[in-house]
Each structure stands twice: as structure tokens, then as C-alpha cells.
Amino acid sequence: MYLPSADRYQAMPYRRAGRSGLLLPALSLGLWHNFGSDRTPETQGRILRRAFDLGITHFDLANNYGPPPGAAESAMGRALKTDFARLRDELVISTKAGYLMWDGPYGEWGSRKNLLSSLDQSLTRLGLDYVDIFYSHRPDPDTPLEETMGALDSAVRQGKALYAGISNYSPEQTRQAARILDGLGTPLLTHQPRYSMLDRRVEDGLLTALDELGTGSIAYSPLEQGILSDRYLHGIPEGSRAAGSSPFLTPEAVTPELVDRLRALDEVASARGQSLAQLALAWVLRGGRVTSAVVGASSVAQLENSVETVRHLDFADEELARIEEILKGRATG
């Protein structure tokens, strides 16, 4: 029987999601890449247990995470049935719907039919009566936003989700979604955008909108598919995602100019006593505007390295200025 660490809440900082009462860990565990059928249940279980021992209470999923789609929810369902059966009330489980899951006209996007059917399927795979956060995974250009937000509101009112969230919505779409949900009586808890040192689009209005709305933010891909780690300091390593093992990261993305920037950032990290990945995570969490950053893990060691980040989240003004120079390509040796 799994007995969680007695001091699991001692080191991890927890941040309030917007104006809600929900506290989330500074780092959340994402089950996107490493909880499919290509990983053993034993490895997956070790990662999940160690994450909880380190204070990670939020496990981030989506219906299409795997591979194949649905596999990550099934893996989490196994862990919830065994290791975490007595611990459900200490966990925040989130899932999403919106990407392709089944054949026919109802298997993706943001219709009421898709979202609520998908949520029922997710709950079955997870073995749960409810999830804590249910997201619209992406905006649907062909479905009225009122319908999509109405489905999230229904999920909450039916007791199948405690909170509603959105992901990959623009600032204006986010404002509209929040207004609709407020009118229905279900506040928009959180937005999950992509955000990293190398992808700063959220700074072009989205973070400001979330501040004004009192909505939390959970950044995904803070390590930019692993580019912001020591793996790419000398180019593209064999077997890496950029070497061709992932459709989300191509070899063309890792240019000589990017490698030079990574090496300069690594020097900043070393001066702080951090790895490049830890620096990148701390940077996303700087200032408290981001509620939580989602990290992935293929091993317990990789997870532990990420969690070490929370020991040093503060930046000196000089450090931030140096990082800004590097990111904008104005850095000198």
C-alpha cells in the first residue's frame, strides 16, 4: 500500500487560481507525452507517486493524451483506483475536450454534444464521478461561444466538474468566454496557454486580460518541448524529439542561433545554481502572474530536477535584464 510522504506539503508553494478559493501547486504534472501505452504502468505509477510526495497535487490531462488518445486518462484511472484511492480529496484532476477523439461529426471541437459526451467518456476512463477542472481545449470557429461555455456550465451544474476552464483562447475570446460564464453563474477559473521563454505570445494581452478577469493561468510547454534543457546545448541529440521522434518539434527549429541563446541562458542558470530547465520554469513563474506551470516527466529523476526549481523562484533585476538581452538576441559575451 502506498503511503504518501508526511512532509509532502512543506516545500511546494501553492498559488491561488485567480480570485477563486482554489490553491494550485506552482508546478503541476502533465500527462501528455509519458502516460501512453508505450510506457509501463510501473514507471507511470512511480512518477505519479513521487510527484505527490513532492507536493504536486494537480494532475493535468486531456481526453486525447496518450498515445493512443485516452491512454493517459486510463493510466491515471489505474493510479486513482490503487495508490490514490484514499487521497482523492487531496488531488486536483483536470481534463479537456476539443480535439479529435472519435469518428463522425461529433468527435471533436466545441459543440455541447462533443464536450459533454467526451466528459462522460473521460470520467469512465478515470473511474471518477467528477473532475476538478473541465476545459474547452481550443476555441471552435464554427460553434457559438455561448454553446461551448453553456456546456462547461452544464458540466459544473451536473456535478461532473467543480470548475470550468479554457485553453488556447485569444485575449478577446477569453474575455467573451468569461462574460458568458459569469452570466451563467459559473466563473472562469483558469486559462491554460502555451508560455515559455521562446513563446511569449501570452504577454501580448492575454496575461493582462486574465489579471483583469481574476482568472488563473496554468502555463503548458514551459520548456518548449524540451528545447529549454541541457539536451540541446550542443545541437540536436540522437533520439530527441527534434531528431524526428515528435511531430511537434522539427529539426529546423533548432538553429545555430537558438543554440547560442540556449548556451547563454545556461550560463545565467549556472550562476544561479540551477539547470537551464529550472531557470526556464522559474522564469515562467516569476512575479506570480502565472498560477502554475505544467511539467512532464519520463522518469522520477527528471521530475525531481523540475521540482528543485521551487527552491529558487526569485530573480534579481540584473538577471532578468540579462535574460531579456539574450532572448531578444542583443546579448554579448
Tens digit of each residue's pLDDT (9 = 90 or more) over 77-92: 999 999 999 999 999 9
233 assigned to some structural domain = no
Tell me the residue range of the domain where 144 lies. 17-226+290-312
51 assigned to some structural domain = yes
Number of folded domains that form the chain = 1
57 assigned to some structural domain = yes
Instruction: Give CA separation, 239 vs 43, 231, 301, in Å.
Output: 20, 11, 19
201 assigned to some structural domain = yes
259 assigned to some structural domain = no
Mean pLDDT in the chain?
A: 95
CA distance 220 to 31: 11
237 assigned to some structural domain = no
Bigger pLDDT: 241 or 119? 119
- CATH number assigned to the domain comprising residue 159: 3.20.20.100
181 assigned to some structural domain = yes
263 assigned to some structural domain = no
Q: Average of pLDDT values for 52-58? A: 98
Bigger pLDDT: 146 or 255? 146
The three grid cell numbers given for residue 213, joined into one nine-digit string: 478577469
